Amino acid sequence: MSNASTDAGADLVRDLVDANHILYHQGIVDAFGHVSVRHDRDAGRFLLARNMAPARVQAGDILEYDVGSGEAIAPNPPRLYLERTIHSEIYKARSDVMAVVHNHSPAVLPFCIARGARLRPVCHMAGFLGGTGHDGPALFEIRDHAGLASDLLIRNRELGAALARTLGRSRVVLMRGHGCTVVADSLPVAVFRAVYTEVNAQLLLRSLPLGEVEYLSAGEADATRVTNEGQAARPWDLWREQARRSRHDDHAQ
């Protein structure tokens, strides 16, 4: 599983490969979606697979990109993700962010489509969706930036920068008619947040029909985030083991 395209630590490359597989195995990405991590030796670069389905990513598919331009570092790269500026512009705007996940996870999408729906935290695993100064992810409406006839994709740096402005200091931003983007200061926490954004969304979808819902208070959201993200290694380890075992059974190379 060698990778000649980057001088980032081999552990970081392997974790990024695992993150791709975990997100697929947990139902957060399907044929589409992507995850990146900032380079561990140069904050001006980040790692992201070439344009391919996350389930099939291997170490040799990981490329280095330039935060400034969103382009691959190496000359004549293979086909790149059209929406790579989601990642580069967030790394540019947020020096605290070390990992970014973009996905179309199925229970989150209704909150990107129903006007006025708020994806605020209702369970202790999803405190990061709220907290002091946070009241559920903001909604990025691409019509405000690309008019009424776009294909909804973040196709260039300008749209990536607009998305990063909507994200602000938050951990999650919703993208109308499209999906969401999740950020964190490490890959395990970014993957944790992507999974539990979906879990919280599933829970809210099931709870709202029963009546008025009790959301976490700002204090509860902050306290649960600190507690649970301090333990992010535990679900990461389990999910990684499950994803690896599933791939083994699937005869993937």
Torsion-angle region of residue 232: left (phi > 0), alpha (psi -120 to 50) or beta?
Answer: alpha
Q: Does 50 help bind a copy of itself (rule: CB under 8 A)?
A: no
Q: Does 77 help bind a copy of itself (rule: CB under 8 A)?
A: no
Q: Does 233 help bind a copy of itself (rule: CB under 8 A)?
A: no
Helix, strand or coil for residue 61?
Answer: helix
Residue 36 phi/psi, 5-degree rounding, is -130, 165
Q: How far is the CB of 204 from a copy of itself (least distance, A)?
A: 8
Pairing of strands 138-140, 45-49: unpaired
Q: Does 144 help bind a copy of itself (rule: CB under 8 A)?
A: no
Nearer to a copy of itself, 53 or 59 (CB): 53
Q: Does 138 help bind a copy of itself (rule: CB under 8 A)?
A: no
Q: Does 58 help bind a copy of itself (rule: CB under 8 A)?
A: no
CA 4 to chain centre: 25
89 tagged catalytic = no
Options 59, 73, 117, 138; binder of a copy of itself; rule CB under 8 A: 117
Those residues whose C-beta lies under 8 Å from the C-beta of residue 132, and which sit 6 or more positions away, are: 218, 219, 221, 222
Options 27, 32, 43, 144; binder of a copy of itself; rule CB under 8 A: 32
Q: Does 150 help bind a copy of itself (rule: CB under 8 A)?
A: yes
Distance CA 93, CA 84 (A): 15
Q: How far is the CB of 100 from a copy of itself (least distance, A)?
A: 19
Q: Does 145 help bind a copy of itself (rule: CB under 8 A)?
A: no
Interface pattern 151-170 for a copy of itself (x via CB under 8 A): xxx-----------------
48 in Cβ contact with 60 (< 8 Å): no
Helix, strand or coil for residue 8?
Answer: coil
Q: Does 213 help bind a copy of itself (rule: CB under 8 A)?
A: yes
Options 19, 122, 183, 189; binder of a copy of itself; rule CB under 8 A: 122
Beta carbons within 10 angstroms of residue 181's beta carbon: 27
Beta carbons within 10 angstroms of residue 214's beta carbon: 7
Q: Does 203 help bind a copy of itself (rule: CB under 8 A)?
A: yes
Those residues whose C-beta lies under 8 Å from the C-beta of residue 163, and which sit 6 or more positions away, are: 86, 89, 90, 140, 154, 173, 175, 181
Q: Does 211 help bind a copy of itself (rule: CB under 8 A)?
A: yes
Selecting among 64, 71, 83, 158, the annotated active-site residue is 83
Site residues for a copy of itself, window 93-112 (CB under 8 A)? 104, 106-107, 109-111
Six-digit token string for 251:
């005869």
Catalytically active residues are: 83
